[in-house]
Structure formats: structure tokens, C-alpha cells
Amino acid sequence: MTDPFDLTDEDFDAATGAPGDEATPEPPWLAGLNPEQRRAVETLDGPVLVLSGAGTGKTRVLTTRIAHILHQRRAQPWRVLAVTFTNRAAREMRERLAGMIGPVAESVWLGTFHALSLRILRRHAALAGLRDGFSILDADDQLRLLKQLMADAGLDAKKDPPKAIMGRIQRWKDRGLTPDRVPEEDRRGTGAQRAAMLYTRYQARLLELNACDFGDLLLHTLGIFQAHPEVAAEYQRRFDYILVDEYQDTNVAQYLWLRLLAAGHRNLCCVGDDDQSIYSWRGAEVGNILRFEQDYPGSAVIRLERNYRSTTAILGAASGLIRHNADRLGKDLIAAGAAAADPDAPPVKVRGLWDGEAEARWVVEEIEALSHEGLPAAGTAILVRAAFLMRAFEERLMTCGVPYQVVGGPRFYERLEIRDALAYLRLVAQPDDDLAFERIVNTPKRGLGEASLQSLQVMARKAGMPLLAAARDLADSDELTKRARKALAGFVADVERWRALVGGMPPAELCATILEESGYAAMWKADKSPEAPGRVENLEELVGAVTEFETLDAFLEHIALVMETESKGAAAGVTLMTLHGAKGLEFDVVFLPGWEEDVFPHKRALEEGGQASLEEERRLAYVGLTRARKRAFVSFAANRRIFNNWQAAMPSRFVDELPDDCVEKTSDTGLYGAVTAGFAEEMGGWGTRHPRRSMTGGQGGAGGGARVAPGTGSWKVRDRTGDGLDITVGQRVFHQKFGYGRVLSSEGGKLAVDFEKAGVKTVVAGFVEAV
């Protein structure tokens, strides 16, 4: 195979007139690399696979490699394509690159698969059957659309859960399969046929709506490349070098996408770690990394095994654990950093506790103790298997007044009020966005009930026009009651007035105008429920977020792809997040709670995926451990409340798999006596010695119970500025989580408050506001 870019340095320099090696001093960024890293950076021609273990400098290699390509004048920045998996990784890489090579970093094609696909798709929308300005549906829209289609087809949502169907559709998309290519064996079995049928209709409906979902961004791009070789060729020529981060997490569609783009020059560099593959449930194929060498014969394979992040104890624990996986390329981490040299680096602490609340108490105690040892909360993370495990920690951290932030929790864009507000903006930007129309036509209440909307739907469907246009016509006809007609006409007039304003004023101002004039903001301001003020705040935050953008379209595009408000402000406290969210991050101190059978490894994972899933769960544990630089703590509870009842829990098998020489196991000695050998069995036995405690209804607060049911989902994190000095006994206060209440007593910065909903609770003064 001839490779147009297989040039020697001399050829290249002669061709471009760039100075030769001796004239160019070695760029500073190469100096600090170890030999393997250096090889990964300097092997520019042909396919390269970098097997990069945790903490071995993967991001550094990627950014340095880009810098090197540019410095060597191998390519212009806009001819380099770098693909990441998350927006965060893209942002981080861009920042680090800018730090090395300056503002020219901006012109590199760097982004997530989805963002880059969208960029390509916008240019060739017509080839995918879309019109300019097509919109991107969020998960909620997708599901609503599917439910409509199911209702039209007379399918029972009880028999075929829309979420399950959606899952199947997405997995087909992950595999690059359009509805007509769904293989026969995928159509057999319960519900499969109906899912395939719905997939066809769903795609058809999306085209009618001039919309696509997340998976379509890739699928359409891929389809265009396959159906129009001249377009594919254009992009093959356009990029001289392609780099891919987290290659182990790519799905089939992404694999094909990359293979197509790299087909010409094969200057493809993929960086990944099979031991950190944790997204198979989303269609990721570890197979992609395992067969790289076969796909790209003659590829260079470079292993990065020197870990600069963690202590030997942490690495030993992680390696010992992951060794239990059969299906891996086999790669060992060698401690090489400053942390490894620390002679009194302590072992990984493993601790068994009575229940989830005791676990939270212990974790926060340790956090407070560590902060006195020079390891402050700001460098500490609590990493959990599933979001519901966060509750106990949030509660405990709040009670103790330790600042914290939840990362990747319920996301900004997913909030009801934000989705509503976005629907207004979408409808104004895209009058044929029917899903947006439906969402807000009667929010706030305009007296347009189901009956009116039903006839509107029917009419629009018959005339083949978008709902907004149909509404305009319907308001002029005499189909509806006078009141409904008037309301509809008013709504249509509003939207048209706002549409006229687009471009005439900054989008943030437009957004504020719409929220005011529609009465949507007023609706929440008038709402008396405890969460309403937070929603008003979020709406204000939304307007603030729009300020960053020049046009409404640019904002909507950003929100569709990024869907998270940029983490603003310094991370001051303990970081609380899921293990999945933690990949690619590092902390001085890491707590890994909830290591119990059925929780971690998760029961559902085992039920659905068997051995393969068990290994994936183990990789997740490995990811968790390897996030830690200096200290790692593993814990498990003998009893845990799941849903609303208590369940006895066995320690996770992963606890036993941790090598003894790297960990120190202790249990609650004060309560249960010293336990050394047979530790896990004994802990597991607790549950049987103390059979399921059934707690009768959490609230009521009585019965000596400090144990009060946790409140609702999310609340805003507040820093502890001002110690609530203006709060006095008898004062009515508002608490983000517990709502309104009255102060009973105050002692040492803590208040006893009688909450209207949650009963009597002790809270830190800084977490309540006087009302």
C-alpha cells in the first residue's frame, strides 16, 4: 500500500523548506518524556496503538503528539483530527495543547465523536435527508416521540416498555445499523420485531421533524460516507493525522467512522486501556482495541506501564484486583512517580461498617482526620457505583459542614424548567419543532386542554404541516371553542413576535424576554412549593449561560451537545461522583464505598451480561482505585437500605480479591470485637445474625430515632460563608433539602430545626437561609 505521507524527514523538510533537525532545538515538551512516551509521540507514520495504563501519561502523550506533528510541520493544525469521548476530555486536551503551542490549538479539529460528526453533518445535511438547521433531540424528546409512535401503533407501554425499546434502537445505532440493515436474528424474540418496526417509524418521523437524535449524528455521517464516496474521500484527504482517545470505549459505528477516515494515509493513533473499558452497556466494543493490529497490519504497538500517579500500595491493590480478569491484553503498572517513592505510604484501608449511614459517618470522619494531615477535602473524592449511594454521603457531609460538590449528578439541562425554557427557544428558532411545541403550548396553563390539542394534532397530521403552522390556521377556523381559539391565537402571535426578534437583539435578552412575556418565569415565581425558588434561580442561570453566545442557534447547538453547564468556580470541597464519571480524573484521596455483592458488582449487570459483565464491573473497581494518588479507602456495609427496606449485604467479592499485602482490613471493633481472619465471612454473617430490620415509615421522627427519611433529590451546594449569624431561635428558615421550618435551638453553629415536611433535624447553620 502506498502511503502519500510516508516521507522521510529530509524529504519533508526539503519540500516545505522547514529547518532541519540540527537547526531546530529540541522542543521543551519532549524532554520530560520517558522512552515509551517518546516513542508514542515520535512514531508519526502509519497506525499506532498506545496501550496506556492508568496514570501513565496518556493525555500528555496525545497532546504532545499533536504539538510534535505541528512543530515538525507534518500537517497544518486544521488538518489534524483528535477525537475524545467526553466533552470534558476535549476541553482539557484543548487547554493543554494551547499551553504548549498557543492559540493555534484552536484550529485543530478536536472534539467528541458527536461534536465532530455534527460539524460534518451540518455541511451535508441534505445527503442524509435533513434540511439546514435540523434540531437534535435530547433523551427526553426521544422517549416522548417513541411513546407517541407506540400509541399510534396501538402498542401497550406496559408490555413493551418504551425505555427498553429505545435501548434496542440505540444499540442498533451503536452498531451502525440503519432500520433496513437490522439483521434477521435481531428481529426474533420477544418484542424484537416490534422494536425493529418502531425503529423504522422512529427514523421516518425524525426526518419529518427535521431532527435527529444523538446516535444519528454518527449514523448519518457514516451513511453519507458510505453512500457518497466522493464526500468520504474529501474528508480522507482533509485530515493528515488522526488521534483517538479512550479507544477501548468506541462502539462499532465509531470504529467504522474512524476506519473510513483513516483509510487513505492510515496515520491513525489510538490510545486506550482495555483494563478501563467500562461502557459496553452503551455499545462499546473492547474488541476494537483487541483487534487493532489485525485491522491495521504493520502498526506500532506501544505500552505505557510506568505509573506516575499512585503509591505502590494503591497500584498493588489495583493490579491484584484486575489480575482476576481473564480477558485482557495483559499489562502491568510499575510505580514510577514521586508517590511511589514515599517510604511511609500507607496501605489501602478496607473497612466494614454496620450500615450505609455508619459508612458515611466513617468516611466523613476520615476526611476530617486527613485534612489535619495535610490532605484537604479539596483533593478528596468519594466514588460510588450508582448515584443512589450518594445520598448518605451528601447528608453526612452537610450535617458536618464539610463542603462538597456533586459532579455529573442530575444535570442542568435535564431539569424540568430548563427543558421547558429550551423548548420555547427551540420553537422560536425552529418553528417546525413539534416536540417543543407540544411541550410548552399549555405551559404555563393557557386553557388548552387535551381536546383542543387532539384536534390540532389531527389537523396538522392531515395537512402535513408542523403544529405551529396548523395552530395558526386552526385559530382562524371555527373548529374549537372560542376560548381555546383565543388562547391558541395568542400563543401563535407570541411565538411569531419572538421570532421577529431573533437576530435583532442578543440571544440572552431574547431569552429573558420570552421567559417574561410567556408567563413562564412568573409561573414559578408564583409557585409556593419549596423547589420553586431554585427553579427561578436556574432560569436566571440559563439566561446567564446564553450570554456567552452570539446567536440563538449557536447556543442551542451547544446545549444539545454539551448539555452541561461548564463547571464554574474552584472545586473547593469533597468531590462526589459515580465511578463512570471519574474515569480520566485523579485525586489525592479516594473513598470507594458500597463494595457489596449486588451493589458492586451490580446485580443487574451480572444478570444481563454474566462473566463479561463481571469483568467489566471489576474494571470499574480498577478505575476507581487507580484514581487515587496517595490514599485509597474501600468500604462496605453489612446492611443497606435499598428502595425502602433494609437488606443484609455480603461484602463484594472484589474485597477478597484485593491482595493482602497492599491492604489493611478492619471492622467496627468497638461494636463487634476484633476481626482478623475470615473477616469477610464474619462481616457477611452479620446480616444473618441480625435479620432484616424493618424500619417502619421513616418519618414521624419519634422513637429516639435520629434516623429521619432522606428528603428529595437534588439541592444546590452552598458554601459555608457566614455562619448563619443572623439566625435566631424561633426564626423561620429555608433549607435546600428539607424545605421550610422553624428553628428550635442553636448550638455551636448547628441548629435544631422543625421542618414542615421532614420533621426535626439538626443542620449546620450555614445551610439554611432566614426567610
Partner DNA sequence: TGAAATCACTTTTTT
Partner DNA sequence: AGTGATTTCA
The residue among 499 and 580 lying less far from DNA, judged by its C-beta, is: 580
Q: Outline where 33-136 has alpha helix (H).
A: 35-42, 58-71, 87-101, 113-123
Residue 399 interacting with DNA (CB under 7 A): no
The residue among 32 and 713 lying less far from DNA, judged by its C-beta, is: 713
Cell numbers given for 295:
485491522
Instruction: Provide the total of helices (H) and of strands (E) in the chain, helices listed first.
Output: 33, 23
Kindly tell me which residue out of 65, 68, 96, 114 binds DNA, with binding defined by CB under 7 A.
114
CA distances from 436 to 12, 64, 120, 453, 495 (A): 54, 44, 25, 14, 12
The residue among 560 and 589 lying less far from DNA, judged by its C-beta, is: 560
Cell numbers given for 177:
445499523
Residue 408 interacting with DNA (CB under 7 A): yes
Residue 581 interacting with DNA (CB under 7 A): yes
**Ordered DSSP codes for 308-329:** -SS-HHHHHHHHHHHTT-SSS-
- Least Å distance, CB 414 to DNA, is 9
Q: Which of 37, 58, 65, 248 is catalytic?
A: 58
Scan residues 477-506 and list those touching DNA (CB under 7 A).
Answer: 481, 484
Active site residue 59: yes
Active site residue 294: no
Q: Outline where 209-355 has alpha helix (H).
A: 214-227, 229-238, 252-262, 287-290, 292-295, 312-322, 338-341
Residue 113 interacting with DNA (CB under 7 A): yes
Judge if the upstream peptide bond of residue 19 is cis by omega within 30 degrees of 0. no
Q: Which of 88, 396, 627, 665 is catalytic?
A: 627
The residue among 107 and 712 lying less far from DNA, judged by its C-beta, is: 712
Residue 458 interacting with DNA (CB under 7 A): no
Residue 281 interacting with DNA (CB under 7 A): yes
Residue 461 interacting with DNA (CB under 7 A): no
Beta strand 768-770 with 732-735 is antiparallel
CA distances from 220 to 117, 120, 178, 332 (A): 9, 10, 9, 40
Binding mask 141-160 for DNA (x = CB under 7 A): ------x---------xx--
Name the residue among 174, 135, 179, 172 with its Cα closest to residue 257.
Answer: 174
Residue 565 interacting with DNA (CB under 7 A): no
Query: How many Å apart are CA 754 and CA 741, to the nearest integer?
Result: 5
- Site size toward DNA (CB under 7 A) is 53
Per-residue DSSP letter, 284: B
Residue 643 interacting with DNA (CB under 7 A): yes
CA distances from 551 to 55, 59, 547, 568, 678 (A): 40, 33, 9, 22, 64
Binding mask 211-240 for DNA (x = CB under 7 A): ---xx-------------------------
Residue 386 interacting with DNA (CB under 7 A): yes
Residue 447 interacting with DNA (CB under 7 A): yes
Residue 112 interacting with DNA (CB under 7 A): yes
Cell numbers given for 37:
512516551
Active site residue 246: yes
Q: Is 508 annotated as contributing to ligand binding? A: no
The residue among 266 and 641 lying less far from DNA, judged by its C-beta, is: 641
Residue type for position 382: I
Query: How many Å apart are CA 683 and CA 280, to the nearest integer?
Result: 32
Kindly tell me which residue out of 76, 477, 666, 699 binds DNA, with binding defined by CB under 7 A.
699
Active site residue 666: no
The residue among 33 and 386 lying less far from DNA, judged by its C-beta, is: 386
Instruction: Tell me the window of 220-228, 373-381, 696-704, 720-728 that interacts with DNA (CB under 7 A).
Output: 696-704
Per-residue DSSP letter, 276: G
Q: Which of 72, 276, 430, 443 is catalytic?
A: 276
Active site residue 63: no
Q: Which of 245, 273, 355, 432 is catalytic?
A: 245
Residue 356 interacting with DNA (CB under 7 A): no
Name the residue among 338, 335, 292 with its Cα closest to residue 314.
Answer: 335
C-alpha gyration radius of the chain: 28
Beta strand 759-764 with 750-755 is antiparallel
How does 553-575 read in b/e, with b if 16+ C-beta sit within 10 Å? bebbbebbbbbbbeeeeeeebbb
Query: How many Å apart are CA 661 and CA 659, to the nearest integer?
Result: 6
Instruction: Tell me the window of 37-45, 128-136, 306-314, 450-458 that interacts with DNA (CB under 7 A).
Output: 450-458
Scan residues 238-277 and list those touching DNA (CB under 7 A).
Answer: none
Kindly tell me which residue out of 14, 227, 301, 451 binds DNA, with binding defined by CB under 7 A.
451
- Least Å distance, CB 682 to DNA, is 26
Residue 183 interacting with DNA (CB under 7 A): no
Residue 621 interacting with DNA (CB under 7 A): no
Binding mask 427-446 for DNA (x = CB under 7 A): ---------------x--xx
Q: Is 730 annotated as contributing to ligand binding? A: no
Query: How many Å apart are CA 691 and CA 286, to the nearest integer?
Result: 42
- Least Å distance, CB 417 to DNA, is 11
Write out the catalytic residue numbers: 58-59, 245-246, 276, 627
Binding residues for ATP: 52-59
Binding residues: 52-59
Question: Which residues are near DNA by CB under 7 A?
Answer: 85-87, 112-114, 139, 147, 157-158, 214-215, 278, 281-282, 385-388, 408, 416, 442, 445-452, 481, 484, 563, 578, 580-581, 602-605, 608, 642-644, 697-699, 709-713, 758
